[in-house]
Amino acid sequence: MRILISVLLISSTFLAGCTSSGIRDTESAEGATPVAAPVATPSPGVPVAAPGAKLEARSLGRPVAAPVAKPEARSMDVPVAAPGLKSEAPSLGRPVAAPVAKPEAQSLGVPVAAPSTAPAVTASSSGTIGSLQIASSFIALHPDSIIYATEAKSRRWNYEQGVMYEAFFQMWLHTKNSAWLEYNRKNLDYYIEPDGTIRTYKLEDYNIDNIPPGRMLLRAAEIWADVRYRKAADLLRKQLATHPRTESGGFWHKKIYPYQMWLDGLYMGQPFYLYYARITGNDTIWNDVIRQFRLIAEHNKDPKTGLYYHAWDEKKEQKWANSVTGQSPNFWGRAIGWYVMAIVDVLDYLPEDHPDRQWMIGMFTELAESMVRYRDPATKLWYQVVDQGARQGNYLEASVSSMCTYAFAKGANRGYLPAKFKGIAQESFDGIVKHLVTVDKDGHIYLEHVCSVSGLGGNPYRDGSFEYYIGEPQRTNDFKGYGPFLMAAIEIERGKAGN
């Protein structure tokens, strides 16, 4: 049963929980083959902290963090290290040293305000859920780290962490509260070793899904002046330098998926790739990034609907591939969601005078208009298989709805899309809250009907059929939906504030 939200408690729990330990929580990468979690050897000479708060089954049958003692109030006007004992990463099986606090770099140009008291949690001006409730609820449920408590594979370096890092980085920019930034730092430090290597990451896997956390690494290196983060980002850049490509120059989705470009892969690789280029001044990367989008527009776009197919096989050898076009057979919602998020984020870093910038904006506008034509008229949401809403078994899916809402709101705020998309985004956000969100008795927010995972090929073989996509499991509060949901709220609030 839906109830009205009173989540001042959540915000307080978050501010207390930012320095607490708990059980880490994640899931397998999109379309990847399950792999056992790595066995880690504890570092010698590093004390292990007492285990964090246990998770217990509570309302709605979901894991909820046990209450923790509130820490003493402390200044948060600059990022700070975790207090007291070293913090243990329970899911990785080894202790991690608490980071050393360093003065915050000012080059990002964003001041961090000290929250003298816990911010009041209220509904947004439209009477709906706002970014503060969404973000605070996530940390109340995941106080220690960004993983799924019941899935071992999620304890690896992965793209879902990257999505949440981006969401909480944007919360920092939006609120000037460094607690959101510190949450990201704590999570990064579970993986980044003193020499800048990344625990559980293997370059030789050539999995483009491992790249998204790299944006936060580059920001962390600048904010905290910590060379470990830059070394780790350089390692991801090295992967892209040697990553296998199609004969036409497109990044393979993974080494295990040769000559295939998936829409997902554009979000996984290109925002980091172009952000790295801006930081290093390597303008040769700009055209390479544009090439990736041009290849997708050429090979994945359906001229009849204006929608984009999930994947393209250059060799036309896969069972799922059309023998003439190499395209997969259906328009999977989240794949298009990844793609529009990739476009709007890449435009942040592409120089204003780049000759292909207007082409990118035009391509984005055309796809956005096409997606609106296939939006459910009653709920203003999108279906799991976008163009087959009336077909039995199809359902309104939360991640594509959140991703498009975010991309359209941000696109309108930045002037990439016509101003009408602010209203379109608001309608869809309200639809998400009304039809896909539930709230428990403690005020925790749950985003329902998120497709847990979808892919193509592999073993067992995924054929890209309608039946395949609607048959994949759904997960409540899946990060691939929750992160974009939070970012959508932020962008809508920015638009209303004129930011």
In the chain, the amino acid numbered 476 is: T
* 9-44 core/surface letters (b: 16 or more CB in 10 A; e: else): ebbbbbbbbbbbbbbbbbbbbbbbeeeeeeeeeeee
Question: Of residues 264, 387, 430, 478, which has the active-site annotation?
Answer: 264
446 phi and psi angles, rounded to 5 deg: -125, 125
Q: Is 219 exposed, middle or buried (0-12, 13-18, 19+ CB in 10 A)?
A: buried
Distance in angstroms (rounded) separating the CA atoms of residues 203 and 150: 26
Which region holds residue 200: left if phi is over 0, alpha if psi is between -120 and 50, else beta?
Answer: left
Integer Cα distance of 382 and 384 in angstroms: 7
Q: Is 127 left (phi over 0), alpha (psi -120 to 50) or beta?
A: left
Summary count for the chain: helices (H), strands (E): 14, 10
Q: How far apart are CA 214 and CA 235, in angstroms?
A: 9
Tokens of 305: 């609907």
Cβ pair 337, 346 in contact under 8 A: no
How far from chain centre, in Å, is Cα 244? 24
Alpha-helical (H) ranges within 80-158 are: 131-141
Task: Return d(Cα 343, Cα 371) in angstroms, integer.
Answer: 14
Q: Which of 333, 290, 335 is nearest to 312 (CA)?
A: 335
Clarify whether 302 is annotated catalytic: no
Q: Which amino acid does the sequence have at 467?
A: E
Residue of 134, 171, 44, 193 lying closest to 439 (CA atoms): 134
Which stretches of 179-317 are assigned E, i.e. beta strand? 260-262, 311-313
**Quick one: residue 45, left, alpha or beta (phi over 0 = left, psi -120 to 50 = alpha)?**
left
Q: Looking at the annotation, which residues are catalytic?
A: 264
